[in-house]
Amino acid sequence: MSSDPDRPAGDAARGLPLPDCGQRISVESPRHDGKLWTHMIGFKPGGYLVLEKPPGADAVEGPLALKDGDSLVIRFLKDGSIYGFRTPVLSTLSFPYKLLFVAFPVDVVRHSLRSSPRLQTHLPCYGQIGGRMFSRAFIRDFSATGCQLRIPLDALEQVEEYDEDVEASDGETSAAPKGTAAAGEGGVESAPTEASAGTSAASASGTATDAGGADGDVSADDADEWQEPGPNSLTLNLHLPGEDELRIAEGQVLEWQTLERYHLLRVRFDEPQTDVFEQLCLYTTQLG
């Protein structure tokens, strides 16, 4: 078994890239739905690879136990590309460690992430927009810089109604909005209205501008309320396939359309989500 990066033989000599020792990889088995996740242990050039037995496939007997001769599909990330190969199970070991021996690959297929800047997905998530919670949504396409999000109409927290007229500081009455305005069918949902003409320039500069014609003015006292959080700020909470840890992505809503059954949002992330994009590519890419 080889783990020396300066070895003269192995994947470099054969021109075949392999996962690094200890690297996380995905495994597809005919006995399991979806992908399993495990780690590379080592290999013998031209002979075999040694993997940890994936959780869910570590049984000695039973319908989910991996058997000699089972054909597996193994995928891994390396140098900005996804690699994959098919290989049969040679043997399994349960003591003293749960290990899986598979045949050394004859051919490895490469798929560059740079050729797929936007990935089609159906990834569930939840989060909030400008302080409004949504209990469920689906990411329909994803890139490192943004995504397209679909939120069912009944999953988004409703806009709060305006308060009844309240006494203003100068003795006049004014309406106090407490949420963002929603556009009609096919419209674009936008930020609150701009500051009233009577507001000082300094106060108005801290107030969100109106992009969609919502009714009602925002007083200087409301500026901080609109700015924290911003009406177009978005937080996504999502679980990637095969991961237990919750991923959080923050961004801004660039476009918002309300359709018959869902809201359609175009989102730009505040920070590149390269790691999330690579993990999704690893999970969804098919071998040619």
Report the C-alpha gap between 202 and 200 in whole angstroms: 5
Mean pLDDT of 159-169: 53
For 225, the enclosing helix (H) or strand (E) is helix 223-227
Would you say the CATH fold of 119-280 matches that of 11-112?
no
- Give the residue, 222 or 27, on which the prediction is more confident: 27
Residue with tokens 């993990």: 279
Candidates 3.30.9.10, 2.60.40.10, 2.40.10.220, 2.40.50.140; correct CATH number of 119-280?
Answer: 2.40.10.220
Instruction: Please provide the average confidence, as pLDDT, over all residues in the chain.
Output: 74
Over residues 144-153, mean pLDDT: 92
**pLDDT at residue number 286:** 65
Whole-number pLDDT of residue 224: 37
pTM tops 0.85, yes or no: no
What is the pLDDT, as a whole number, of residue 81? 81
The kind and range of the H/E element at 152 are strand 146-152
How distant, in Å, are the alpha carbons of 131, 176, 177, 181, 254 from that of 160? 11, 11, 8, 9, 22
Give the domain 11-112 fold: Pnp Oxidase; Chain A (2.30.110)
Domain ranges (residues) in the chain: 11-112, 119-280
CB atoms within 10 A of CB 232: 21
Per-residue pLDDT tens over the stretch 193-248:
333 333 333 333 333 333 333 333 433 344 333 334 567 899 999 988 878 889 99
pLDDT (tens digit per residue) in 117-127: 788 888 999 99
**For residues 90 and 100, is the Cβ–Cβ distance under 8 A?**
no
Question: Does residue 134 or residue 215 have the better pLDDT?
Answer: 134
For 280, residues 6+ apart whose C-beta sits below 8 A from its C-beta are 119, 121, 123, 142, 240, 241
Burial 94-129 (b: 16+ CB within 10 A, else e): eeeebbbbbbbbeebbebebeeeeebebebebebbb
Angle, CA of 100, 103 and 106, to the nearest 5°: 145
